[in-house]
Amino acid sequence: MFKNLNLSNYLLILPLVVIFLSGCQLKEEKTVLKLAHGLEPSHPVHKGMVAMAKRLDVISEGKMAIDIYPSGQLGSEQQNVEMLQIGSLAITKVSAAVLESFTDNFQVLGLPYIFRSKQHSFNVLDGDIGKELLLSTEKFKVRGLCFYDAGSRSFYTLNKPIKTPDDLQGMKLRVMKSQTAMELVRAMGGSPTPISWGELYTALQSGVVDGAENNPPSFYTSHHYEVCKYYSLNEHTMVPDVLIVSTVIWNKLTDQEKEWLQQAADESVPSQREVWAQSEKESLEKVQKAGVIINYPDKEPFAKKVEPMIESYRAKPELFDLIQRIKAVED
């Protein structure tokens, strides 16, 4: 092709060839992963994912990137999980409760008052138990990357405050599609009603349910405080969120790319927890200013109501052993 060119012509063409080849090489080496979830961009869990994406760009020196699609842009939580399983989406966020449908061991994270404190939950999730759980869903084509703080879940209601478990009698309460969450509400005297997160505002507004249960930032960013004017911080569970990656896509990554992605996820956890703590405080202040009555009921009666639920796990030796291991972790 170039046999009739003299040396000066070669020198003129060479930089153009180098630029062209460099551009092709950069394009081929860049790995872009899609991450979709249902939360608003103002939510602290979304901010944790943004921190992960920024960290991945730095760690990989621009060779990997994450494109984030919040607010249900690419479908519901269930649809996102299904997309992971076929490899059409790389990463999504789910509540740990959702993963109960994949492996029973995730049930323990949704048990009421299983964690003695916030630090106790962090020690469990950051340790061997957490690592085991993150990898326990691989046969279902999803793999856990890390746990994000999702705070404590408490009851919020339309027409009356919840001060004792007796106040829940006969009330229809929205729960996640989780067997453990349903058992919890039944044990406390309520009537559990599974409804998707995206449909809950309308269900509350129309009176399909009398209330729901969630953490302060979710209560605020979802605008549920506009219809529910009572928030009772009984803090019955500390169910974390989980970032999960498609194993279809994970297995296509190089060992180096896997290391970068896992490192970015791990390093985003402390910053997400800091953002969460601040957001929790601000959310409670904002809903209170909007007219929500916040009360702090005695947790002991609620805990006693669910003791039989915990004891029932003796019939499931593997899960009961996991419960004992969690209790043995220090605060």
Q: What is the CATH number of the domain that holds 168?
A: 3.40.190.170
* Claim to verify: residue 303 and residue 275 sit in the same structural domain: no
Same domain, 231 and 290: yes
Task: For residues 84 and 179, state if they share a domain.
Answer: no
* Residues 267-275, mean pLDDT to the nearest whole number: 97
CA–CA gap between residue 83 and residue 246 (Å, rounded): 8
Q: Examine residue 140 and state whether it is found in any structural domain, yes or no.
A: yes
pLDDT (tens digit per residue) in 62-80: 999 999 999 999 998 889 9
Task: Tell whether 188 and 324 lie within a shared domain.
Answer: yes
Q: Is residue 35 part of a domain?
A: yes
State how far the alpha carbon of 23 is from the alpha carbons of 11, 16, 19, 28, in Å: 19, 11, 6, 9
Q: How far is CA 44 from the centre of its chain?
A: 10
Please indicate, yes or no, if residue 293 is contained in any of the structural domains.
yes
Within a domain: 172: yes
pLDDT of 16 strictly over 90: no
**Is residue 268 included in any domain, yes or no?**
yes
Answer whether residue 274 is part of any domain: yes
Q: Are residue 275 and residue 297 in the same domain, yes or no? A: no
232 and 301 inside one domain: yes
Q: For residues 63 and 126, state if they share a domain.
A: yes
For 202-212, write each residue's pLDDT tens digit: 999 999 999 99
> Final residue of a domain: which of 282, 297, 315?
282
Q: For the chain, how long is the longest CA-to-CA vector?
A: 94
Same domain, 47 and 88: yes
Q: Is the pLDDT of residue 19 over 90?
A: no
Same domain, 73 and 159: no
Can you tell me the mean pLDDT for 209-232?
96
Enclosing domain of residue 212: 153-238+286-328
Do 314 and 185 share a structural domain?
Answer: yes
pLDDT of residue 251: 98
| In a domain? residue 110 | no
Tell whether 111 is covered by a domain. Answer: no
| Residue 124 scores a pLDDT above 70 | yes
How many domains does one find in the chain? Answer: 2
Residues 171 and 51 grouped into a single domain: no
What gap in Å lies between CA 209 and CA 182, rounded to an integer?
14
User: For 290-302, how does the pLDDT look when each residue is reduced to its tens digit (9 = 90+)?
Assistant: 999 999 999 999 9
